[in-house]
């Protein structure tokens, strides 16, 4: 395993892929989708070995489900085909102006070059990442989790083989996989700044901090969401109930699901019991701070328990909702500012001034008024597929879709221009 060599080959391959015509990239994506379906058997045999080992190690059913590719190849291939239909971000002119001295100045969108992606479980991520990098003209070096190594290797082999007819524009080295699970290779990857332009860690906070602390390459972190919903005094409470249910229950394991509910004190006594009944019927349990507990009559209800010290700083990713009563907009804003992960936060209100104040004060990737936090997603916001959700502020915030996988260069055309 020689990462410097991998980096060099990725950079060279990226140089070609970065200039590949759109129709070649799209044809390659369709060939990849076909190859995934045609080679489903080989992929699933490898996946079965990973699953058997994972089960022997005692991984939870939820984890096993994340690993499992059976009956999902068709869906994964369909996602690849859908990336082929998205607009190619490369080559577009972003801004163009002629300066008073006649110099023609423009910015042209170009690929970043080489992207390193470090991720855990879920082998479908392997295919998502490859298809988005290919479409955006970037070479990629992947490093997946050890529990899915055989599934990932099978997927990468099928994909690299499928690229053979396109090798003049898309060399196989545009897609490389670090197949040694020794962690020192992650560390080596983070130091390859001469060859790698961006690192995307997809995983928990520990992985993110490891990358931020050790990388000399720019890192985009995100995907950790302690998302809040604040129900203001004037909220439409029926709509609020539906929104909270959607944000908590529809897919509790994702980063844009709501984890904390803040309720204005004037509506708490009326509204909170309705929340517990409505969401409780879907299996949600509640962690209530004292005032919320009081509004719920001290919680004779078994679904409600007193909130612990960490419960307002926890990304549950499960059917659990932390609940707090606040005195009004100011306390809601202050609470969110101290506890959110700058992912997605929503105010439910019929008061337009409060909506404006909330939007201005909350410094999150996505700030919502009267909507579920579940819309923070590339496809829901009209960007197509996404590589990650960024919760940091440089380069891109929120969905990291195709355009966010590019940079630009200034193109400056003169006629013998010199600076005066």
Which residues would be at the binding site for its own copies (CB under 8 A)? 15, 19, 97, 99, 103, 105, 108, 110, 112-113, 193, 197-198, 209, 212-213, 216, 218-220, 236, 239, 242-243, 245-247, 250, 337, 355, 359-361, 363-372, 374-376, 380-382, 392-395, 397-398, 407-419
Of 162 and 388, which has the nearer Cβ to its own copies? 388
Q: How far is the CB of 93 from its own copies (least distance, A)?
A: 12
Of 197 and 315, which has the nearer Cβ to its own copies? 197
Of 37 and 236, which has the nearer Cβ to its own copies? 236
> What distance in Å separates the CA atoms of residue 323 and residue 313, rounded to the nearest whole number?
12
Segment holding 304, helix H or strand E: strand 304-306
> What distance in Å separates the CA atoms of residue 226 and residue 258, rounded to the nearest whole number?
7
Of 164 and 242, which has the nearer Cβ to its own copies? 242
Of 154 and 244, which has the nearer Cβ to its own copies? 244
Q: How far is the CB of 294 from its own copies (least distance, A)?
A: 28
Q: Write the burial class of residue 371 (CB in 10 Å: 0-12 exposed, 13-18 middle, 19+ buried).
A: middle
Q: In the structure encoding, which two tokens stand for residue 29, read together?
A: 């994506």
Q: How far is the CB of 324 from its own copies (least distance, A)?
A: 22
Residue with token string 């394991």? 253
Give the CA radius of gyration of the chain.
24
| Secondary structure of 222-251 in HEC code, one letter for each residue | ECCCCEEEEECCCCCHHHHHHHHHHHHHCC
Of 176 and 256, which has the nearer Cβ to its own copies? 256
| Three-state DSSP state, 90 | coil
What value, to the nearest 5°, has the Cα angle with vertex 128 and ends 11 and 111? Answer: 35
Q: How far is the CB of 53 from its own copies (least distance, A)?
A: 34
Q: How far is the CB of 289 from its own copies (least distance, A)?
A: 24
Q: How far is the CB of 49 from its own copies (least distance, A)?
A: 36
């Amino acid at each position: 395993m020689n990462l410097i060599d991998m980096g060099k080959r990725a950079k060279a391959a990226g140089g070609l892929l970065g200039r590949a015509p759109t129709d070649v990239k799209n044809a390659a994506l369709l060939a990849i989708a076909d190859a995934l379906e045609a080679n489903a058997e080989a992929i699933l045999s490898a996946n079965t070995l990973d699953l058997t080992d994972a089960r022997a190690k005692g991984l939870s059913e939820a984890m096993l489900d994340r690993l499992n590719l059976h009956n999902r190849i068709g869906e994964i291939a369909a996602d690849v085909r859908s990336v082929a239909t998205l607009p190619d971000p490369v080559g577009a002119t972003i801004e163009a102006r002629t300066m008073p001295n006649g110099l023609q100045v423009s910015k042209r969108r170009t690929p970043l070059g080489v992207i390193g992606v470090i991720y855990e479980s879920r082998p479908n991520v392997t295919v998502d990442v490859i298809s988005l990098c290919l479409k955006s003209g970037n070479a990629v070096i992947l490093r997946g989790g050890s529990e899915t190594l055989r599934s990932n290797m099978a997927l990468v082999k099928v994909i690299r083989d499928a690229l053979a007819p396109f090798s003049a524009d898309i060399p196989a080295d545009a897609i490389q996989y670090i197949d040694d699970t020794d962690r020192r290779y992650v560390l080596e990857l983070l130091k390859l700044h001469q060859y790698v332009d961006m690192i995307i860690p997809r995983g928990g906070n520990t992985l993110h901090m490891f990358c931020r602390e050790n990388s000399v390459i720019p890192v985009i972190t995100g995907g950790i969401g302690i998302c809040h919903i604040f129900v203001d005094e004037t909220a439409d409470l029926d709509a609020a109930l539906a929104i909270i249910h959607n944000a908590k229950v529809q897919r509790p394991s994702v980063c844009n699901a709501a984890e904390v509910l803040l309720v204005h004190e004037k509506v708490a006594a009326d509204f909170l019991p309705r929340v517990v009944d409505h969401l409780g019927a879907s299996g949600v349990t509640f962690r209530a701070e004292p005032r919320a507990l009081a509004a719920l009559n001290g919680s004779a209800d078994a679904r409600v328990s007193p909130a612990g010290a960490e419960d307002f700083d926890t990304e549950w990713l499960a059917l659990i909702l932390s609940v707090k009563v606040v005195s009004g907009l100011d306390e809601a804003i202050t609470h969110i500012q101290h506890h959110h992960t700058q992912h997605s936060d929503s105010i439910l209100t019929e008061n337009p001034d409060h909506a404006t104040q909330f939007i201005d004060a909350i410094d999150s990737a996505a700030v919502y008024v009267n909507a579920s936090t579940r819309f923070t997603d590339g496809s829901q916001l009209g960007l197509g597929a996404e590589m990650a959700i960024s919760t940091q502020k440089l380069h891109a915030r929120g969905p990291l879709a195709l355009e966010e996988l590019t940079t630009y260069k200034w193109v400056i055309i003169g006629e013998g221009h010199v600076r005066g």
